[in-house]
């Protein structure tokens, strides 16, 4: 059965095109995906991301548990509220999921994992948690609204109770804190996102979600669908689980080496496989592509290089750049003149360092 967020009727009333998204009935756009994309790059947009899975972890040994579970090092989190992006690997070094974990106390961390991988993630986390006597508690009663864009923070701050406002305004990037919203509703405000713009992701109880959404809309924040979220995160150079990496791909092959912490003496799941792969040499790499001519790069298209064929992972028209961009996985080594096969025609593309767009502007060389 398709699941619905508490804002489902609101999305429909706003005229959203709804699609099945990992088992959830979600808005892909409310009319124009491109206008929604620009609203986030230029002003402020909001996304219902309540389909994402919030899981709280409690226990005296929760830190030891996360040292074992995650490829990134939980010891990097030293200040309450600080967040970390990490992969959760299987023994073969393949990515089970990517997630964000928030440090909320010495016996309490909160993670947010993908909706499409909810069941397997919960099963895996619960199984691994047993040895550490950690309680794994899903929080389905919480909704999540991402408010993103150069003016997103000020729109949210205006709705935060004045006793909390200065504190939330000073919240550092990749940090979260509790605050009161309109009428004293409890908010968990995180300065995180998936768009390459500044902003907040706000978790709050389901019963207050509609009021908060409506208050944001009244303040001029534009409702945006998951279509715009996808083009925004691609421009921002952020991976999408299932498309850019999965259980058959290691972080080395997904340009996520920066999230692997090989700190001394830490025995995390997948570490042996990652070290063996690194020692033997990684054979596939993930790169950014730009198509300067007309056409659109799409998932699954063949990429031709001097060292053999690769494949497009995430690919789309990029509204900020007015051309097509993509991530591709190609054989390691000097790739020569790279082409993409689009309906039987080989079109030249060039490899670029990404992100493609940061803080509303094209990056150098794009």
Map residues 184-223 to x or -, x wherever contact with other proteins holds by CB under 8 A: ----------------------------------------
CB closer to other proteins, 261 vs 318:
318
CB closer to other proteins, 236 vs 260:
236
CB of 364 to other proteins, least distance (A): 24
CA distances from 346 to 301, 339, 340 (A): 11, 6, 5
- The residue from 22, 23, 242, 295 that contacts other proteins (CB under 8 A) is 295
When asked if residue 278 is in the footprint of other proteins (CB under 8 A), the reply is: no
- The residue from 317, 327, 354, 356 that contacts other proteins (CB under 8 A) is 317
Site for other proteins in 18-57 (CB under 8 A): 28-29, 32-34
When asked if residue 298 is in the footprint of other proteins (CB under 8 A), the reply is: yes
CB of 318 to other proteins, least distance (A): 9
Structure tokens at 85: 């992006």
DSSP letter at 32?
-
When asked if residue 319 is in the footprint of other proteins (CB under 8 A), the reply is: yes
**Residue 97, burial from CB neighbour count under 10 angstroms (0-12, 13-18, 19+):** buried
CB of 32 to other proteins, least distance (A): 6
Count of residues in contact with other proteins, rule CB under 8 A? 16
CB of 317 to other proteins, least distance (A): 4
CB closer to other proteins, 24 vs 103:
24
- The residue from 53, 111, 209, 231 that contacts other proteins (CB under 8 A) is 231
Q: Are 157 and 166 in contact (CB under 8 A)?
A: no
CB closer to other proteins, 170 vs 294:
294
Could you write out the DSSP letters of every residue in 145-175? Answer: EEEESTTHHHHHHTTS-HHHHHHHHTPPTTB
Structure tokens at 123: 């099963």
CB closer to other proteins, 72 vs 316:
316
Binding positions for other proteins, rule: CB under 8 A = 17, 28-29, 32-34, 227, 231, 294-296, 298, 316-317, 319, 343
């Amino acid at each position: 059965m398709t699941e619905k967020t508490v804002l489902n009727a609101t999305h429909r009333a706003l005229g959203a095109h709804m699609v099945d998204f990992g088992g959830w009935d979600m808005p892909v756009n409310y009319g124009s995906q491109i206008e929604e994309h620009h609203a986030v790059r230029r002003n402020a947009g909001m996304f219902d991301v309540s389909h994402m899975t919030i899981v709280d972890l409690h226990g005296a040994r929760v830190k030891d548990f996360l040292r074992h579970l995650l490829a990134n090092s939980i010891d990097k989190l030293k200040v309450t509220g600080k967040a970390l992006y990490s992969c959760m690997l299987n023994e073969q070094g393949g990515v089970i999921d990517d997630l964000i974990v928030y440090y909320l106390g010495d016996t309490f961390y909160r993670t947010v994992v993908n909706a499409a991988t909810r069941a397997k993630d919960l099963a895996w986390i619960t199984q691994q948690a047993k040895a550490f006597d950690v309680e794994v508690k899903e929080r389905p009663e919480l909704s999540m609204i991402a408010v993103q864009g150069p003016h997103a923070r000020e729109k949210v701050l205006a709705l935060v109770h004045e006793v909390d406002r200065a504190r939330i305004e000073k919240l550092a990037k990749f940090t979260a804190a509790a605050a009161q919203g309109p009428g004293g509703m409890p908010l968990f405000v995180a300065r995180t996102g998936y768009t390459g713009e500044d902003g907040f992701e706000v978790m709050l109880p389901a019963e207050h979600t509609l009021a908060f959404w409506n208050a944001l809309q009244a303040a001029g924040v534009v409702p945006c669908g998951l279509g715009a979220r996808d083009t925004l995160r691609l421009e921002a150079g952020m991976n999408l689980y299932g498309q850019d990496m999965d259980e058959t791909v290691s972080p080395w092959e997904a340009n996520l080496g920066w999230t692997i912490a090989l700190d001394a003496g830490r025995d995390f799941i997948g570490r042996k496989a990652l070290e063996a792969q690194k020692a033997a040499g990684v054979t596939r790499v993930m790169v950014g592509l730009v198509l300067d001519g007309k056409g659109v790069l799409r998932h699954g298209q063949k990429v031709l290089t001097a060292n053999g064929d690769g494949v497009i992972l995430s690919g789309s028209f990029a509204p900020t750049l007015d051309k097509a961009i993509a991530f591709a996985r190609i054989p390691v080594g000097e790739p020569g003149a790279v082409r993409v096969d689009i309906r039987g025609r080989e079109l030249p593309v060039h490899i670029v360092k990404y992100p493609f767009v940061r803080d509303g502007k094209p990056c150098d060389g794009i």
